[in-house]
Amino acid sequence: MKLTSLLERARGSILVLLGVVSLAVSFDASAIPVFARQTGFKCVACHVGGEYPQLTSLGRMFKLTGYTMGNANDIFNLTTNIDRPPVAVMLQAARQYYTNTNPAAGNGNAPSSSMDMQVVSLFTGGHITDNLGAFVQWTWNKYDGNITSGSQYTQSSGIDNTEFRWADRIVTADSDLIYGVYANNRSTMSDVWNSTENWTSDWIGYFNAGGAPAPTTFLMGSSAQHGEVGVGAYVFKDKNWYGELGVYKSVTHGPLSFMTGGATGSTGVPELDPSPYYRFAYNKEWGPHSFQAGIHGMTSYVHGDPGLGYSDWSGTISTYRDVGLDAQYQYVLDPHYFSAHFRYTHEDMNNSSAMIGTSATNPTDTLNETWADVTYIYKAKYGAMLFYHGATGSTDALMNPASPTGSPNWQSWMPSVFWAPVQNVRIGYMYTFYTQLGGVTGNTLNMGGTALSPHDFNTSMLYATLIY
């Protein structure tokens, strides 16, 4: 039977959720994904309370040393462990609830009535040599892009988070130095503190109410996801000081284009000229506590017009200069797991001349994006999270057409609870509510001629994930 038809059959049924649970509890508890098979660890060793993607100190060190620790296949010496295959799968079934179902008003991209299998990810990677390792993810999304009318939706599939790292660690009696290089397909993919966008704590395939006018900075936004290739180098000294420099560029053809799936401006992905990325941080660990604070930034040189879907590869260049602060605090000592993250990113936009008068009023604009979250997990089984996400910035009527004043300002909160009956399964409920969009709190947003309020974009989601 074809996978798609199987998925179709399951659609709309709570049986998917029950099936995920019963399937998972029948698994051998030690048989889990790629890195766990390689190290023999349970999820909780590297993830806070066992819940991906938040990394513990051990998880950070595993990533910084190039995903190489453990015992795995060695492709160069042609040794394999057939009982530890370097592949894993993640399935996500979910049902969304929201009220705004008007396609013209930027409604959601999953039918609000569905309970079905919405995301399938495949993973591979880990140890390649003693210095070289990889994280490779491929994802199928049932719903990609907003529903245009009725229940029509677009599926997508392709390469997702992917990174190759080469790393070395020099340890002496009074010094510890990790240094390495990486190639990956998204800025912030290299993050180990979950305080920047790619690995923020809400990392779960989440289909909210589609077109909420909630602008983000270019660096933290999802607009450049997996459409660019970056190479970078980093050092981590004495588990205290971290420094990283990278440069990202669009790659539409050639050997590295497998990391972007050949994405181009015509497929709605920004085309980047070489754009520098950097990160510096201080890390401190004492007792069960750990703390990190640092700065991040990227200056992106982007062809084309985001308002027109970046389709103009040969067009003029817009510049997005992002600089920010980020921090993390963790308490990791069973049965209590706690973490908190904060980031603030300031963006200076230099809009290309082609944008002026079409998708931007001003030659320059600013945006200040703020993210904060707290997570508490008990016994690696029961968890609760609260996220805040929002932005403020300069008024620009063409850039923020939904706002009656041209304001980009918005605020949202997202409480969430979950239960992990076994380490491979997470069942949760999350709710996103917008307290401000387009600088307004009332019923004055102009969404394609329809007047809406921020609350019309509120979304909740019941989900179950299985990772195996």
**Owner of token pair 């980031």:** 343
Instruction: Please tell me whether residue 69 binds another protein under the rule CB under 8 A.
Output: yes
Instruction: Please tell me whether residue 132 binds another protein under the rule CB under 8 A.
Output: yes
Instruction: Please tell me whether residue 47 binds another protein under the rule CB under 8 A.
Output: no
How far apart, in whole angstroms, are the C-alpha atoms of residue 226 and residue 256? 12
x/- site string to another protein, residues 10 to 29, per CB under 8 A? Answer: --------------------
- Closest of 299, 356, 350 to residue 324, by C-alpha: 299
At closest approach, how far in Å is the CB of 437 from another protein?
42
**Using the rule CB under 8 A, which residue among 22, 30, 80, 353 binds another protein?**
30
At closest approach, how far in Å is the CB of 50 from another protein?
9
Instruction: Please tell me whether residue 52 binds another protein under the rule CB under 8 A.
Output: no
At closest approach, how far in Å is the CB of 32 from another protein?
11
x/- site string to another protein, residues 378 to 417, per CB under 8 A? Answer: ----------------------------------------
Instruction: Please tell me whether residue 216 binds another protein under the rule CB under 8 A.
Output: no
Instruction: Please tell me whether residue 57 binds another protein under the rule CB under 8 A.
Output: yes
Q: Which is nearer to another protein, 168 or 312 (CB)?
A: 168
Token code pair at residue 324: 């920010």
How far apart, in whole angstroms, are the C-alpha atoms of residue 88 and residue 137? 9
- Closest of 463, 411, 426 to residue 110, by C-alpha: 463
CA distances from residue 190 to 105, 175, 196 in whole angstroms, order as listed: 36, 23, 10
3-state class of 48 per DSSP?
Answer: helix
Instruction: Please tell me whether residue 293 binds another protein under the rule CB under 8 A.
Output: no
**Using the rule CB under 8 A, which residue among 26, 286, 314, 449 binds another protein?**
286
How far apart, in whole angstroms, are the C-alpha atoms of residue 116 and residue 94? 6
**Using the rule CB under 8 A, which residue among 12, 19, 70, 262 binds another protein?**
70
Part in contact with another protein (CB under 8 A); list of ranges 127-135, 202-210, 225-233, 447-455: 127-135
At closest approach, how far in Å is the CB of 129 from another protein?
5
How far apart, in whole angstroms, are the C-alpha atoms of residue 124 and residue 205? 19
Instruction: Please tell me whether residue 127 binds another protein under the rule CB under 8 A.
Output: yes
Q: Which is nearer to another protein, 2 or 83 (CB)?
A: 83
How far apart, in whole angstroms, are the C-alpha atoms of residue 303 and residue 332? 44
How far apart, in whole angstroms, are the C-alpha atoms of residue 428 and residue 199? 18
Instruction: Please tell me whether residue 150 binds another protein under the rule CB under 8 A.
Output: no
How far apart, in whole angstroms, are the C-alpha atoms of residue 44 and residue 22? 21
Nearest 5°: CA angle at 453, between 447 and 459?
A: 95
Query: 310 and 264 in contact (C-beta within 8 Å)?
Result: no
What residues from 328 to 387 belong to the interface with another protein (CB under 8 A)? Answer: 332-334
3-state class of 302 per DSSP?
Answer: strand
Instruction: Please tell me whether residue 131 binds another protein under the rule CB under 8 A.
Output: yes
Part in contact with another protein (CB under 8 A); list of ranges 222-230, 253-261, 272-280, 348-356: 253-261
Instruction: Please tell me whether residue 80 binds another protein under the rule CB under 8 A.
Output: no
Q: Which is nearer to another protein, 214 or 332 (CB)?
A: 332
How far apart, in whole angstroms, are the C-alpha atoms of residue 391 and residue 393? 7
3-state class of 126 per DSSP?
Answer: strand
Number of residues that bind another protein (CB under 8 A): 50
At closest approach, how far in Å is the CB of 277 from another protein?
21
Part in contact with another protein (CB under 8 A); list of ranges 1-9, 160-168, 381-389, 459-467: 160-168
Cβ neighbors of 69 (< 8 A, separation 6 or more) are 38, 39, 61, 62, 127
CA distances from residue 436 to 394, 407, 433, 441 in whole angstroms, order as listed: 16, 11, 9, 5
Query: 34 and 364 in contact (C-beta within 8 Å)?
Result: no
Instruction: Please tell me whether residue 82 binds another protein under the rule CB under 8 A.
Output: no
Instruction: Please tell me whether residue 177 binds another protein under the rule CB under 8 A.
Output: no
- Residues of this chain that interact with another protein (CB under 8 A) are 30, 36, 39-42, 44-45, 57-58, 61, 65, 68-72, 76, 81, 127-132, 164, 166, 168-176, 238-240, 254-255, 258, 284-288, 332-334
